[in-house]
Amino acid sequence: MYSERPIHGGIYESRGDVLAVVHNHSPSVVPFSVTDTPLRPMFHLAALIGPELPVWDIRDNFQDTSLLVTTMEQGRDLARCLGDRRVSLMRGHGCVIAGKSIREVVMASVYLQVNAGLLLESLRLGEVKYLSPSEIELMSASQMRPTSQERAWEYWANRAGRPTGENGR
């Protein structure tokens, strides 16, 4: 069994709307979990990650640990930080993405990482223009359309060498 299953347990317990959870250690995302520079969407396909991403720090309530989320108390604490959002960063560790389907959380995970990489590049050049709240709302609605998710899922499934099947599964 994966030691960090309380990440998933804590979120499923607190969010009746969540049917899929991704946890990963994206190296592009981690820098934003340990600095004051916020990770916000500046690339249209990253609208799905939401306007503000909280950073959960396991040390706030559990002192020094391995940083792994191995107890339900820790999982619940992370779920509280996530609140009703789709994404939370985890200080010095990675991130968690919650949503209504595997396709949705995979799409948000991919573009969270892409946006983090683009933002790191952009910050080197100067001041960054982020997506506005309305742009985030409009683009998210477009990304949540089944056809948008089908197309992206098919592409990623093909890239991974997996058949998408009759229903794109």
For the annotated catalytic residues, the residue numbers are: 4
Rounding to the nearest 10 degrees, give the CA dihedral for residues 56, 152, 47, 119: 70
Shortest Cβ 76–Zn ion spacing (Å): 16
Q: HEC profile for 20-36?
A: EEEEECCCCCHHHHCCC
What is the rounded distance in angstroms from the CA atom of residue 97 to the CA atom of residue 104?
Answer: 9
Q: Which residues bind Zn ion (CB under 5 A)?
A: 4
Q: Which is nearer to Zn ion, 65 or 132 (CB)?
A: 65
Q: Which is nearer to Zn ion, 58 or 118 (CB)?
A: 58
Shortest Cβ 93–Zn ion spacing (Å): 6
Would you give the DSSP letter of residue 51? S
What is the rounded distance in angstroms from the CA atom of residue 61 to the CA atom of residue 78?
Answer: 10
Q: Which is nearer to Zn ion, 74 or 140 (CB)?
A: 74
Shortest Cβ 67–Zn ion spacing (Å): 8
